[in-house]
């Protein structure tokens, strides 16, 4: 029985970001829903470490309040509506 998902959720609930990152980097928990779960739990900053899609990264940057990273990501995307959202 793999308890990694349970350990991940407990670490997340207990705000042990280092443990959450360790579990994710080790690949002990995977799947497309992890980033969405992190965002729902108010941990968009951690989700940013693992998201590759630029538009999703942009949304996560805004959610996390990281305007500098949001701007850098907007420069990569180069779409007018993205810059309007950033403004």
Domain residues for the domain of 82 are 32-87
Residues 72 and 82 in one domain: yes
Residues 24 and 36 in one domain: no
Tokens of 59: 């949304």
pLDDT (tens, 9 = 90+) of the chain, 87 residues, equals 578 888 988 998 898 989 988 888 888 877 667 888 888 888 888 888 888 899 999 999 999 999 999 999 999 999 999 999 999
Domains of the chain: total? 2
Query: Closest Cα partner for 78 from 64, 62, 58?
Result: 58
pLDDT at 1: 54
Q: What is the pTM of this model?
A: 0.74
Q: Which residues have a Cβ under 8 Å from the Cβ of 61 and sit 6 or more positions away?
A: 44, 48, 67, 69, 70, 73
Burial-class residue 39 by CB neighbours within 10 Å (0-12, 13-18, 19+).
buried
């Amino acid at each position: 029985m793999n308890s990694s998902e349970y350990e991940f959720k407990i670490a997340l609930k207990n705000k042990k970001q280092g443990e959450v990152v360790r579990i994710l980097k080790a690949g002990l928990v995977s799947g497309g829903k992890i980033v969405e779960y992190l965002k729902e739990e108010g941990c968009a900053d951690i989700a940013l470490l693992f998201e590759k899609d630029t538009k999703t990264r942009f949304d996560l940057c805004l959610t996390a309040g990281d305007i500098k990273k949001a701007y850098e990501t907007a420069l990569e995307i180069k779409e007018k509506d993205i810059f309007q959202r950033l403004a």
